[in-house]
Amino acid sequence: MAGTDRQMRAGAAAPTGGPTDGPAGPSPLATWHQKVFAAVEKWPWLSSLNDNVSGVTQPLYDRYRDNLAVELMHGGRWAGHSVHAALSDLPIGFWSGALVLDVVDVLGEKRSSRRAGSGDAAATLSAAGLVAAAATVATGVTDWTVSDGADRRVGLFHGLLNLTGTALQAASLAARLGGRRGTAHGLGLASMAVTAAAGFVGGHLVQGRAVMVNRVATTTGPRSWVRALPEPELAEGTSAHVVVEGRQIMLHRADEQVYALDDLCSHAGALLSRGEVTDCIVTCPLHESRFDIRDGHIVRGPAHHPQPALPTRVRNGWIEVRGSQPASRRARN
């Protein structure tokens, strides 16, 4: 019995495989999308097209970036998030409805009145989706102009897929109006397949790469007053970048007051302390969003979210900061 116990303990401790055995690694089903997007980012033709399209759109955007219409297309401070993602639901919804009616038309009864009725409704939904797609494309291009690097290239691929899906849907509508129902059904199905692929790429950009999301939504602390910078090192009208308990903070002195903002721009994570400050308004050096350093509110987009402002004080020759406190704690302090 004792021998059996020893064998059981030894068996439990002994390796079950040969010397080459090791961690199985992630399943290909869990990594295929990473490989796909890594390849997309490196496509030479996509990089070249990105440069060419940027050469046309970027000067146009820079010329009109102060226009109210441009900020409205971003969504900006009024919507609190990009409106492109919300608008994209409209063409997808309309075209999905048209596809469902096509399926009903094919599988349902073959009476001519039934086919004509569903065909008319499908054509209406297809046309409504094309109208909605125009606004979706306009807002998408506007957001795309304030992206960078690999995000910009993948975003262009996302846009190309969407344009292809829209073109197929337009061809489907033309076929419907011309009475070519079988062709219309096939083109509508192809349009939805391409549009679904575009939605997958868009999901990767937002959820996989955090494009157009609030970069400072989860920043907190410090929980108590912490020394950030010797007070003499921040002259009037100057800014400084400090790191306090892992949080990057911009300090600025104006009118004998010291202000502190989260230094990472909420739009794309650039350091605001590297931007110019005029009349207490800091301009992001990356995409030129503007924030009031006194309370962090947005003066101009493309940012959708204000910058968190931190309390400051000067004690014993040091500038001290702390994170925003809950109301109950502020009352105790």
For 141-186, how does the pLDDT look when each residue is reduced to its tens digit (9 = 90+)? 999 999 989 999 999 999 999 999 999 999 999 999 998 988 999 9
**C-alpha to C-alpha distance for 92 and 199, rounded to whole angstroms:** 9
Residues 199 and 276 in one domain: no
Residues 104 and 155 reside in one and the same domain:
yes
3-class state of residue 273 by DSSP: helix
CATH of the domain at 230: 2.102.10.10
pLDDT tens per residue across span 120-141: 899 999 999 999 999 999 999 9
Tell me the percentage of the chain whose pLDDT exceeds 90.
62
Sequence length of the chain is 333
Residues 39 and 121 both lie in one domain: yes
CA 5 to chain centre: 58
pLDDT computed for residue 7 by the predictor: 42
In a domain, 5, yes or no: no
Residues 151 and 61 in one domain: yes
| Helices within the chain (DSSP H only) | 2-13, 28-41, 44-64, 68-74, 76-79, 83-107, 112-144, 149-177, 181-203, 327-332
In the chain, the number of structural domains is: 2
**Domain boundary residue among 180, 208, 236?**
208
The reply to whether 79 and 109 lie within a common domain is: yes
Asked if residue 171 and residue 50 are part of one domain, the reply reads yes
Beta pairing partners, 283: 290
- For 121, the domain range is 35-208
Domain-located, residue 17: no
Angle, helices 112-144/181-203, rounded to nearest 10 degrees? 30
Q: Exposure of 227 by Cβ count < 10 A (0-12 exposed, 13-18 middle, 19+ buried)?
A: middle
| Domain endpoint, select from 175, 208, 241 | 208
| Domain presence at residue 22 | no
Question: Does 28 fall in a domain?
Answer: no
pTM score of the predicted model? 0.76
Q: What is the pLDDT of residues 37-75, one digit of tens each?
A: 899 999 999 999 999 999 999 999 989 888 888 888 888
**Whether residue 308 is found in the same domain as residue 193:** no
Local confidence band at 118 (pLDDT 50, 70, 90 cut-offs): low
